[in-house]
Amino acid sequence: MSTPSPEPRPGHHGPKDGPKDGHRNPHVWVSSTYFGQGFPYAVVNNMAEILFKELGASLQVIGLTSLFHLPWNLKFLWGPLVDGFESKRRWLLATEWIIVALLVALALLVAGGGQAMAPIALGFLVLGLLSATHDIAIDGYYLEALDEVEQSRFVGNRVSAYKVAVLVVGGPLVALCALVGWTVGLALTALIMAGLATYHLFFLPPVETPRRPWTALAAAVFSPRALPLFAAALLLVVLELRWAVGTSLQFWFRDLPWVGGLSAGGWIGLTLLLGLGLTAAVTPALVRRLKQKPKQERSDYVANFVSFLEQPKVGLILGFVLLFRTGESFLHKMRWPFLDDVVGLPLEVYGVASGTIGVLASFAAILIGGRLIARDGLRKWIWPFVLAQNILNLLYMGVAALPDPMLLGAHADGSLLGWLPVTVLITLESAGAGLGTAVFMVYLMRTCDPAHKAGHMAIVTALMSVSFTLAGVFSGYLVEEIGFESYFGFTFLATIPGMLLIFFIPYLDGRTLPSDSPDSPDSPEQ
């Protein structure tokens, strides 16, 4: 890979100051990079379980494919490395080309069938680690390249491109694999990724000055301090190669209420919940201890986390990030079972209503929401958009409260028009979720210190995924205990704590840079 020309300082010379040709226009590169972010994510989290089913894996093994998602929950651990070494652009390009090579290797391994299941599992785990690192680099690059107003303006492009990538992998690409075989299908997947990497290599604009080189990173990675990370990685490898280690967890406590029937994925969710509680308990003491060290004695890795935790009202920020999508997460986990079992909606109608009309409504809402926030500010639109996301949960409660919800399709002939009330319900809820996403993405970007963009974004995006994991663990149990009507009421109640925090969280009017930040107008380095 050729060395780019010296990259401009963050916040001063991004794409907006560079050539205005189509290749370097933010509309183009924001869409291409976030399509590239969603593409390997969907391969790991959507395609893998289908592949293992086709290879003849047991249900326990298929359940353990949830381990492939762990890198996204843990990516904050190595996010500071992306901030401290090289540039976000180089990290982005390096991970994309390694992902291409790994997809080719997986295509060759799949040719061995079920005999190669353990190496394939290890390959997907490594692919998850690379993809999560790729996410960190892309989010950091986006924050480096665009100012605060532009970040809001293009939030619709990034979310829409990401969702399109997930749809492409989960639909046409999986269907193609079924048609031509997994070896050819994964080879074509690698070819698509190679096309994106090639485009980014030649046309992705440089936006920052590279920091310490790869050689310094290698020295840091192989230092004694990194041994705990290597131990954690080795544990993940063992879990992937020795399936019995994970599946046996399902039998140790199988007679206990609530947790006895949990899958390995459920145990992972409970472990994350316990880990989150433990982290919340020890963090204040740890931060106090780290603050006592002079700034010049802090490593870049430690400084990344300390700078995030030193923000004003950081407890409120963390609470808001964790709670914002809790109600939405619980709703989505049980939406299809409700529409299938209680309303009687045919799967093909649901596919069009949710996967086409609903997705388009979500895209439109995100684009419109991002533009309005960029024009008028987050404070003006946060309440209308958050209420649009959360109050619409009550529509499902209303449908569940009907004497006979199946009457909604009593005159349906199997067509979309016959199920118009349900289609409208799904469309409205998808649009509301899109407006909420626009608010959330803008706010997450404002929690990131300009000096530690990638590392801070890795922290908040890892935290926001916790609610999805926990909803997956507990949603089924709740429905069995209280029924769908009460459950959908609960999904709205679960949104209230996050909404109450809006009265107290900082940054609704923008992020004020500290006077010693390199991006501050008053910095002596400018």
Q: What is the CATH number of the domain that holds 420?
A: 1.20.1250.20
Smallest Cα–Cα separation from 66: which of 318, 272, 338?
A: 272
Report the C-alpha gap between 102 and 312 in whole angstroms. 42
- Check: CB of residue 8 under 8 Å from CB of residue 68: no
Helices and strands (H and E) in the chain: how many? 27, 0
Indicate the SS3 state at residue 6. coil
Report the C-alpha gap between 284 and 315 in whole angstroms. 10
Report the C-alpha gap between 395 and 425 in whole angstroms. 7
Structural domain harbouring 150 = 15-213+226-247+260-266
Model confidence band, residue 73 (pLDDT cutoffs 50, 70, 90) = confident
Report the C-alpha gap between 206 and 253 in whole angstroms. 54
Among the ranges given (85-89, 200-204, 302-306), the one the predictor scored with the smallest mean pLDDT: 302-306
Segment 175-180 shows an average pLDDT of 83
Q: What is the mean pLDDT of the chain?
A: 77
Torsion angle of the four alpha carbons 326, 331, 333, 339, in this order, in degrees rounded to the nearest 10:
180
Q: 29 and 118: one domain?
A: yes
Q: 46 and 127: one domain?
A: yes
Confirm whether 294 is domain-assigned: no
Confirm whether 274 is domain-assigned: no
Q: How many CA atoms, within 13 angstroms, populate the side-chain half-sphere of residue 433?
A: 25
Confirm whether 515 is domain-assigned: no
Q: 322 and 424: one domain?
A: yes
- Domain count across the chain: 2
Q: 340 and 241: one domain?
A: no
Confirm whether 102 is domain-assigned: yes
Model confidence band, residue 137 (pLDDT cutoffs 50, 70, 90) = very high
Residue 115: exposed, middle, or buried by beta-carbon count in 10 A (0-12, 13-18, 19+)? exposed
Q: 243 and 321: one domain?
A: no
Q: What is the three-state SS of 59-90?
A: HHHHHHHHHHHHHHHHHHHCHHHHHHECCHHH
Q: Residue 248 pLDDT > 70, yes or no?
A: no
Neighbouring CB atoms inside 10 A of 228's CB total 10
Q: What is the three-state SS of 217-259?
A: HHHHHCCHHHHHHHHHHHHHHHHHHCHHHHHCHHHHCCCCCCC
With a pLDDT cut of 70, the percent of the chain lying above it is 72
User: What token pair was written down for 110?
Assistant: 């799949």
Q: 231 and 331: one domain?
A: no
Segment 431-459 shows an average pLDDT of 86
Dihedral sign of CA atoms 269, 137, 31, 1 in order: negative
